[in-house]
Amino acid sequence: MDPPEEVRARLERCGQGHLLRFWAELNTAQRGALLAALPPGLGEHCRLAAAAGARQRGPHERLDGRMEPLPPELLGSARRSGPAALQRWEAEGLYQISQNKVAVLLLAGGQGTRLGVSYPKGMYNVGLPSGKNLYQIQAERICKVEQLAGKRHHCKCVIPWYIMTSEFTLGPTEEFFVQHNYFNLDRCNVVMFEQRMLPAVTFDGKAILEEKGKIAMAPDGNGGLYRALMDNKILDDMKQRGIQYVHVYCVDNILVKMADPVFIGFCISKGADCGAKVVEKAYPTEPVGVVCCVDGVYQVVEYSEISPETAQQQRPEGGLMFSAGNICNHFFTVEFLEIVGQNFVAFEVLREEEFSPLKNADTADKDTPTTARQALLAQHYRWALKAGARFVDENGCRIPEKLSVSGTEDPPAVCEISPLVSYFGEGLEVYMKNKEFPSPFVLDENKLEMLENS
């Protein structure tokens, strides 16, 4: 039996006739599944993929002459802002959280292929003393910031957690959360949904067959968020809950601050529709996108679109002209997600406090389980020293302190602090000041009770 003539003709017109080459070898069910999988707009999708492939292989378009750095009035900074401003933004963010107006949205469609594992990255354990995985760390940070907002405003509040998965990660992620009792979060406040899948396409614009009767599909990327929010009625759910502000982030950043009240408060104080956290580029040619303005539109420009000369340009007062490195950490109003606008701001944060992605196996030289673990333990070591803690080795001898510890080295002592104990590093003095702790040491809720009674 031949395929329907109109289907063959349509595929031939858009250069995808090869998808039917094994038709004669397929049974009735396989033929039906193949026809059902042919998406509308396949030709346009493959044409765009071919154009992107041509750009990838050819010389990159340079945007140098069209780029401008972010104006100072749109760029906040955790480093350069005074304590009063930071406290004001934090208070605003905690107030909005206490009013149940804030949600977090996790982009978790990717598998751990580059990490060398077959399961979703959020399930990965980087080797912390506690054995916690990324999902647990993030769930506990949500719980803690709910507690901080509720305590300040004498109420009980909730931060819904929306998790955008892919076809590949939805099932394992749901099962993992069930196995772990949703990490003690209320199940009704953890909402999982799938992003769309699109045909995988070669650089020359040919859709790929995974099997003789099956088109290979792939998640449509983080840019597919907006369509997925509509398709899955997530925006409707947000509005029913009274959500006005959404913090969006990627699963692989071990230092991410869930529903960061400082960032949320800053964006709200600026009247922003959308915002981005950025880190200062480590060096001019660091392979990260930069947030800037192109032809009057704020966007992320990839490092491949900038010449080395532009990347190395300096500001008159010193520092890189284009230094705002994108870390896929965003603020949106729900209204913005419904009708995309351009009232944009950016907030620069400290890399060692807020950005350490987990992307590669330990055979790579960066963004590995080792660097993620080092970054978190270095942060917690700094928090402990600031709180007045001292550390001793297995012989009871004092471990010399090192006040400046980056996220790319092992701290002198290993101290892990549960997100349920502290969100920013706050509140640790009462438990740690002038006390000695062994290395390694895990400060969790059980240890708090022991310290309170000691």
Considering only CA atoms, which of 339, 342, 337, 327 is closest in space to residue 296?
Answer: 342
Q: The domain spanning residue 408 has which CATH number?
A: 2.10.10.100
Position 318 scores a pLDDT of 86
Is 432 within the bounds of a domain? yes
Interval 236-290: pLDDT, tens: 999 999 999 999 999 999 999 999 999 999 999 999 999 999 999 999 989 899 9
Tell me the pLDDT band of 8, cut-offs 50, 70 and 90: confident
In a domain, 206, yes or no: yes
- Residue 391 and residue 413 in contact, taking contact as beta carbons nearer than 8 Å: yes
The pLDDT value recorded for residue 10 is 86
Specify the pLDDT at position 256.
97
> What are the residues facing 104 on neighbouring strands?
161, 247
Question: Does one domain contain both 219 and 310?
Answer: yes
pLDDT for the residue numbered 438: 96
* Cα separation, 6 vs 20, whole angstroms: 13
What's the whole-number average pLDDT of the chain? 90
Whether residue 219 lies inside any domain: the answer is yes
The neighbour count for residue 227, using CB atoms within 10 Å, is 12
257 and 198 assigned to the same domain: yes
**Structural contact between residues 35 and 215, judged by C-beta atoms closer than 8 angstroms:** no
- 251 and 329 in a single domain? The answer is yes
pLDDT tens track for 373-393: 999 999 999 999 999 999 999
Q: 272 and 222 share a domain?
A: yes
SS3 category, 262: helix
One domain, residues 424 and 304: no
Number of domains in the chain: 3
pLDDT at 280: 95
Q: Is the dihedral of CA 71, 72, 78, 79 positive or negative?
A: positive
If asked whether residues 199 and 341 sit together in one domain, one would say yes
454 has pLDDT over 70: no
Residue whose token pair is 């595929």: 11
- Residue 63 reports pLDDT greater than 70: yes
Say whether both 247 and 387 belong to one domain. Answer: no
- What is the rounded average pLDDT of the residues 302-316? 89
Contact 45, 198 (CB under 8 A): yes
Same domain, 321 and 383: no
Tell me the backbone φ, ψ of residue 404, rounded to 5 degrees: -105, 100
Burial class (CB in 10 A: 0-12, 13-18, 19+), 222: middle
Q: What is the pLDDT of residues 397-446, one digit of tens each?
A: 999 998 788 777 899 999 999 999 999 999 999 999 999 999 999 999 88
Residue 3 has pLDDT above 80, yes or no: no
147 and 172 in a single domain? The answer is yes
Lookup result for tokens 């303005």? 293
Both 337 and 412 in a single domain?
no
Q: Residue 162 gets which letter from DSSP? A: E
Retrieve residue 193's tokens: 């949904």
Which of 38, 57, 76 is at the close of a domain?
A: 57
Do 423 and 293 have their domain in common? no
Q: Give me the percent of the chain exceeding a pLDDT of 90.
A: 64
Q: Tell me what pLDDT residue 183 has.
A: 97
CB under 8 Å to 133, separation ≥6 — which residues? 122, 123, 124, 125
What is the average pLDDT across 182-209? 90
Q: Inform me whether the pLDDT recorded for 341 exceeds 60.
A: no
Confidence of residue 225 (pLDDT cuts 50, 70, 90): confident
Closest CA to 265 of 430, 108, 76: 76
Q: pLDDT at position 358, please?
A: 94
State the pLDDT at residue 130.
97
Given a cut of 90, whether residue 195 has pLDDT beyond it is: no
Taking 70 as the threshold, does the pLDDT of residue 52 lie above it?
no
Q: What is the DSSP letter of 59?
A: P
Q: What is the mean pLDDT of residues 125-134?
A: 96
SS3 393: coil
pLDDT at 129 over 90: yes
pLDDT attached to residue 118: 87
Q: Is residue 13 in some structural domain?
A: yes
pLDDT at residue 290, as a whole number = 94
Residues 6+ apart with CB under 8 A from 81: none
Separation CA 381–CA 403 (nearest Å): 9
Based on the fold, state whether residues 309 and 196 are members of the same structural domain. yes
pLDDT at 218 over 90: no
Tell me, yes or no, whether 399 lies in a domain.
yes
Highest mean pLDDT among 19-28, 39-48, 88-97, 162-171: 88-97
Q: Contact 204/312 with Cβ under 8 angstroms?
A: no
Residue 54 has pLDDT above 80, yes or no: no
- CATH label of the domain that carries residue 280: 3.90.550.10
247 in Cβ contact with 138 (< 8 Å): no
Give me 314's structure tokens.
């300096």
Does residue 47 fall inside a structural domain?
A: yes
**Could you say which of 354, 388, 406 is where a domain stops?**
354
The answer to whether residue 437 is domain-embedded is yes
For residue 37, give its domain range. Answer: 5-57
User: What pLDDT band is residue 59 in, cutting at 50, 70 and 90?
Assistant: low
* Token pair recorded at residue 453: 């009674």
359 part of a folded domain: no
Among 40, 57, 74, the domain boundary falls at 57
Closest CA to 234 of 273, 189, 198, 191: 191
Q: Is the pLDDT of residue 354 over 90?
A: yes
Does residue 129 contact residue 71 with C-beta atoms inside 8 Å?
A: no
Mean pLDDT of the region 96-122: 91
Task: Report the range of poorest mean pLDDT among 51-60, 108-117, 149-158, 352-361.
Answer: 51-60
